[in-house]
Amino acid sequence: MKHTSVLFTLVIAAGIALTGCTGSAETKEKEKQERSYLERYDDALIAFEAKKYYRSIEDFNFVVFNAPGSDIADNAQFYLASAHFELKEYILAIDEYQQLLRRWPESDLYEETRFKIAECYYLQSPGYQRDEEYIHKAIAAYQEFIESYPFSEYRKDAEARIQQLRSGLAKKAYEAGKLYMVLREWSAALITFEEVLNSYYDTSLLNPTYLEMAACYYELENTEAMIGILNKVNPDTLSPRDKRRYRKLFQASTVTRE
């Protein structure tokens, strides 16, 4: 009987302890749910700064949908988008940033949001050798940003991004032309190199492209076109190997003229 009594007492004690723990957890959850939107915003900021982005998203969402007319609603929307940005969920981030543009067009975060959307496209874009969809979207977004905010503190960054992306696209076209040359498809190579001249004239590949085009015209025995394009080449900026190629082509054009 004594052992049974002790066991019964332990079971009752454990039950009380378990009930207490469950009650405590439920109380904490209830208190969490009963927080005001200001408290939720503050908690979300703390989580965001601690890089606990998934935790912050829930409370930022609450503020956005339950206090859309408050002074902090646009801030909550911006941080909500930025949490996805930090998580590298760039497509989701774009959608959330665009929500801010649509719902709070007078927000003082509007300019920065426009830039962040361009940044999302930039970071979402793959290497230049793959699909170019997001590369072009990023370039367009940066260009529109510069047109809208010519004196923005983000302008230099936007211009640098555009140059980087355009250089990547130029390199893709240039390498495609070089591949045609390997295949001895000289006319196809010329068409591809023309794309570099017409679309990416402001990149560092302009001069090498002139040289490759001169080489193609040489192979096609179009001396006049070869001389014309060769005169556009600046040999001072060529690599040692390309300087040798330039001299050979130049000598060939001289022999032909004689």
Q: How many helices (H) and strands (E) does the chain have?
A: 12, 0
Of all residues in the chain, the percent with pLDDT exceeding 70 is 84
Q: Is residue 217 part of a domain?
A: yes
pLDDT at 7: 46
Burial 24-37 (b: 16+ CB within 10 A, else e): eeeeeeeeeeeeeb
- Asked whether residue 238 is assigned to any structural domain, the reply reads yes
- Confidence category of residue 8, pLDDT binned at 50, 70, 90: very low
Residue 41: band (very low, low, confident or very high) from pLDDT cuts 50, 70, 90? very high
Average pLDDT over residues 95-107: 97
Q: Confidence band (pLDDT; 50, 70, 90) for 9?
A: very low
- Predicted pLDDT at 18: 47
225 belongs to a structural domain: yes
pLDDT at 49 over 90: yes
The tokens for 145 are 């940003």
226 within domain boundaries: yes
Structural domain tally of the chain? Answer: 1
Phi and psi at residue 251, to the nearest 5°: -65, -40
Is 125 inside a domain boundary? Answer: no
Domain residues for 247? 205-258
Task: Calculate mean pLDDT across residues 8-36.
Answer: 54
The tokens 């000598």 sit on which residue? Answer: 251
Residue 173 lies in a domain: no
Mean pLDDT over the full length of the chain? 88
The answer to whether residue 248 is domain-embedded is yes
**Whole-angstrom distance between the N-terminal and C-terminal Cα of the chain?**
125
Does 150 reside within a domain?
A: no
Percent of the chain at pLDDT exceeding 90: 79
Model confidence pLDDT, tens digit, residues 57-77 = 999 999 999 999 999 999 999
Task: Say whether pLDDT at 42 is over 80.
Answer: yes
